């Protein structure tokens, strides 16, 4: 019998691989859809930013025109041009920058102190459940107190100065921050904690490998709230016991009826609050990545 031989025909056309063609087509379609989706996201973000800018520009334009046309009393409502002019004049001798720096420093110190103390206290409470049950109603009561009522008492105890204002800023946020942190720690999945103990772990392992890593979103969200509350507390303290800072400028401007100074200080406070919040948000995104 003749052996079966396979001859190679160079003129034979190759049959296209249908599966690879379908695969390449599917990948190209997915890539196209992804690009389309990303363009939509970018356009949506651009539209939102443009809308915000137009809204702010329209408000400032209407405010300026209303003041110029005397539709509103410029003595009480001022105008954007007057506020900008006052800001430029106060920048010449760095006076406004000094007030901004003082308020910003007091706010950051209060914020960092509140964050560290609340995390440390929440860790102690989670490690000592009996102590947490004893202290819980007192924390709720202190958190329910109007913080503006505590500021005069703090000033009587500690006197005036930056230290008093920092503590006043801390008093606004500290109790609520401790409660939120402790609540976030207690809501960690019990299965993960049981797994650590099953594998021979200790309370220390449970705390640093399960509870704190799982509570990072709670800590970050709490920081977003604390930065605003710390700023509010600092301004309350500056209202009562300061000779510098934006809170002092607001009180001083209202006492001498210099509304340009008052409105300028409020606008700067809004910019500071927005900037601090955005910084924490950027840190959150980078940390998550």
**pLDDT below 70 — which residues of the chain?**
1-30, 288-289
Report the pLDDT value the prediction gives residue 138, as an integer from 0 to 100: 87
Report the pLDDT value the prediction gives residue 77, as an integer from 0 to 100: 85
What's the pLDDT tens digit per position in 96-118?
A: 999 999 999 999 999 999 999 99
Report the pLDDT value the prediction gives residue 99, as an integer from 0 to 100: 92
> What DSSP line would sit under the chain, residue for residue?
-PPP-----TTPPPPP-HHHHHHHHHHHHHHHHHHHHHHHHHHHHHHHHHHHHHHHHHHHHHHHHHHHTTSS-HHHH--HHHHHHHHHHHHHTTHHHHHHHHHHHHHHHHHHHHHHHHHHHHHHHHH-HHHHHHHHHHHHHHHHS-HHHHHHHHHHHH-SSHHHHHHHHHHHHHHHHHHHHHHHHHTS-HHHHHHHHHTT--HHHHIIIIIHHHTHHHHHHHHHHHHHHHHHHHHHHHHHH-SSSHHHHHHHHHHTT-HHHHHHHHHHHHHHHHHHHHHHHHHHHHHH-
């Amino acid at each position: 019998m003749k052996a079966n031989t396979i001859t190679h025909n160079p003129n034979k056309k190759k049959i296209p691989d249908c599966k690879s063609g379908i695969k390449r087509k599917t990948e190209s379609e997915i890539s196209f859809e992804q690009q389309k989706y990303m363009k939509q996201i970018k356009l949506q973000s651009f539209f939102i930013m443009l809308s915000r800018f137009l809204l702010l520009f329209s408000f400032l334009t209407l405010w300026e025109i209303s003041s110029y046309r005397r539709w509103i009393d410029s003595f009480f409502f001022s105008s954007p041009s007057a506020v900008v002019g006052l800001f430029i004049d106060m920048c010449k001798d760095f006076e406004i920058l000094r007030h901004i720096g003082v308020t910003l420093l007091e706010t950051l110190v209060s914020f960092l102190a509140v964050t560290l103390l609340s995390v440390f206290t929440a860790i102690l409470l989670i490690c000592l459940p009996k102590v947490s049950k004893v202290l819980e109603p007192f924390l709720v009561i202190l958190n329910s107190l109007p913080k503006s009522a505590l500021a005069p008492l703090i000033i009587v105890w500690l006197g005036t100065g930056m230290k008093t204002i920092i503590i006043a800023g801390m008093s606004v946020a500290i109790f609520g921050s401790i409660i939120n942190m402790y609540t976030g720690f207690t809501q960690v999945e019990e299965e993960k904690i049981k797994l650590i103990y099953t594998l021979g772990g200790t309370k220390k392992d449970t705390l640093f490998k399960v509870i704190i890593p799982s509570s990072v979103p709670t800590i970050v969200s709490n920081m977003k709230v604390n930065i605003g509350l710390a700023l509010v507390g600092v301004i309350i303290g500056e209202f009562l016991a300061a000779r510098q800072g934006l809170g002092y400028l607001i009180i001083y401007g209202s006492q001498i009826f210099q509304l340009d100074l008052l409105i300028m200080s409020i606008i700067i406070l809004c910019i500071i609050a927005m900037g601090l919040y955005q910084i924490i948000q950027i840190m959150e995104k980078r940390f998550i990545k």
